Structure 1
Amino acid sequence: MTRIAPCLWYDGTAEDAANFYAATFPNSSVDAVHRAPADYPNGQAGNVLTVEFTVLGMKFLGLNGGPMFKFDEAVSFMVHTKDQEETDRYWNAIVSNGGQELACGWCKDRFGLSWQITPQALLDMMTSTDKAASKRAMEAMMTMHKIDIATLEAAFRGD
């Protein structure tokens, strides 16, 4: 049993979000949908109140708490990708389904949650002991929305 799980506050879209994440990422699922046993400040008895779901093997709870709180970039989920194909697949799934492109590998899904779709190659370049190469890769990354590994590799090499 997981002893800690993030609780994500949605405005009535927790079940839709959980279904989207389960369809987008491997090792993901909608695990349980719980309906409110009584009326509550932003809903009625019988409405979906919480949704337990798993994304990439990590447990979450979605709470349909109402419109008072919104996601912002202070919290984001970093997804490490193995190659350009995986990077493109996740990025495109999020952005093309009502999401939004942001800078440097960040994007926002239609529910307002921020994601960092981050190839392992980028992390390797940024932490290289070759500081000049890391600087070139970072400068190239700063011009991107979706990360382009080939362009980063060229910058890293100094091409």
Structure 2
Amino acid sequence: MPAEKNKMSYYSLRLKELLNTSFPELSGNKNFIDRRGQLAAKVYNDAFIAGNTIEQCNKIAEHVLFEGLHFSKFDIVFKVVCNEFDTIMADEELRPFALKMLPFCSVLFEQYQLTDNFSDSPEYELLYTELTGTIQIWIEDNGLQ
């Protein structure tokens, strides 16, 4: 039975995949992953019992599973690094460098209302520009260490 405890639900695995890719700061939060995964499974089951189609049940469960996780701070930092600084480092260095820059850029994020729809707002381009400048200054001050 101890092996059963190590199994993750389908929804927990889906969430963990998203967190590993776009929310590395949350990827190690097992309680968050387990709670969200269990809640999504329960919501799916409740929706199915209520007579929804499987497609509708999945949509409802995914809404719960990914709530508040549509805009990623890491994704925009990674996008800036890939688009603006890809010529000064090797491809395999881009993600590690973006991970390194994420905490350095955190003060910029505090100046914005980061909703799920933030990437569609006019402020997105301003944040992108500020991130580019901040990372450029960091590189000038510290090199690519």
Task: Name whichever structure is richer in strand by fraction.
Answer: 1
User: Normalization by structure 1: what TM-score?
Assistant: 0.27
Larger helix share, 1 or 2: 2
